[in-house]
Amino acid sequence: MTKITFVGCGNMAQAMISGLRASKQKFHIYVIEKNKELKNKIQQELKVEIIDNLDHLQTDIVILSVKPKDIAVACKNLNVDESVVISIAAGIGLDTIKNHLNGHQKLVRVMPNLNAFEGKSINAIYFDALIEPEDRKIIDSIFSSIGHNIVFDDESMIDQSTAVSGSGPAYVFYLMQSFIEAANKIGLPLEESKKLVYETFAGACATAKKNLDDLDMLIENVSSKGGTTEAAIKTFDERNLKEVFNQAVKNAYSRALEINQENKN
């Protein structure tokens, strides 16, 4: 049975533990969590074994699931021995993790997202060269329990993925919120506005998944010359919405790189 230790047990770690509990593969899960209130909550709800450190316990995998600003403290005096260490902290490069773990070599970076709670996360994964094929399979199964995996052979793509899929759910929620407000402002009741917008997003995503190579065609299929959709799309183009989006994603990517620099020491 694979032994996994989560260092920190915030929202993402809790989603992962729930996914692992529901998977067919069996894992023995340990958690190191300093927050007393959170520690009691996860012990009751997730039925995991709470430990103080790894001084007298060797686990196969250690998952650093703390906030980026807490990565140095989380790694301090952490006895990872021969464990594979996985970081899911946004923006934190393997060079920084290696530095905080005194040169530990068996490292992996993963960027999941909030959709893990629904088993719909898309997980960007980068394996350090020293990760054995058998360990790769185990890690793939761990993250498959919360969604789908994409493996990259260039670590920089994890930071790029962070700006797209890591932060992406918030972009979608922001758009949905704006859409709901717009619907409400033209006279639709709030609850009906929410339902119309949610079902529109859900249906559009299902349709787009089958036609990702031709989104322009999908837009054209909805648009009629001189019609309502054309009027809306024209407004988006006039306000240069694509450039706003490009800049937002670029800023998120730049911030991921900054976070790594801020937490190197």
My answer on whether 153 and 182 are in the same domain is no
**According to the model, what pLDDT value does residue 26 have?**
84
Do the Cβ atoms of 83 and 61 come closer than 8 Å? yes
Domain membership of residue 245 as a residue range: 168-255
My answer on whether 79 and 138 are in the same domain is yes
**Domain-embedded: residue 30:** yes
**Domain-embedded: residue 80:** yes
| CATH code where residue 10 lies | 3.40.50.720
**According to the model, what pLDDT value does residue 185 have?**
98
User: How long, in residues, is the chain?
Assistant: 265
Please tell me the distance from the alpha carbon of residue 74 to that of residue 92, in angstroms, as a whole number: 13
Q: Tell me the pLDDT band of 21, cut-offs 50, 70 and 90.
A: confident
**According to the model, what pLDDT value does residue 182 have?**
98
SS3 1: coil
N-term to C-term CA, the chain = 35
Share of the chain above pLDDT 90, in %: 83
pTM of this structure: 0.93
In 3-state terms, the chain is what percent helix, strand and coil (to 5)?
A: 55, 15, 30
My answer on whether 10 and 109 are in the same domain is yes
My answer on whether 216 and 150 are in the same domain is no
Q: Tell me the pLDDT band of 219, cut-offs 50, 70 and 90.
A: very high
My answer on whether 85 and 197 are in the same domain is no
**Domain-embedded: residue 31:** yes
Q: Which of 24-33, 91-100, 179-188, 225-234 comes out lowest in average pLDDT?
A: 24-33
Mean pLDDT across 159-178: 98
**Domain-embedded: residue 261:** no
Q: Which residues pair with 3 in a beta bridge?
A: 28
| CATH code where residue 222 lies | 1.10.3730.10
**Cβ count near 253 (within 10 Å):** 19
How many domains in the chain? 2
pLDDT in tens, 74-88: 999 899 989 999 999
**Domain-embedded: residue 243:** yes
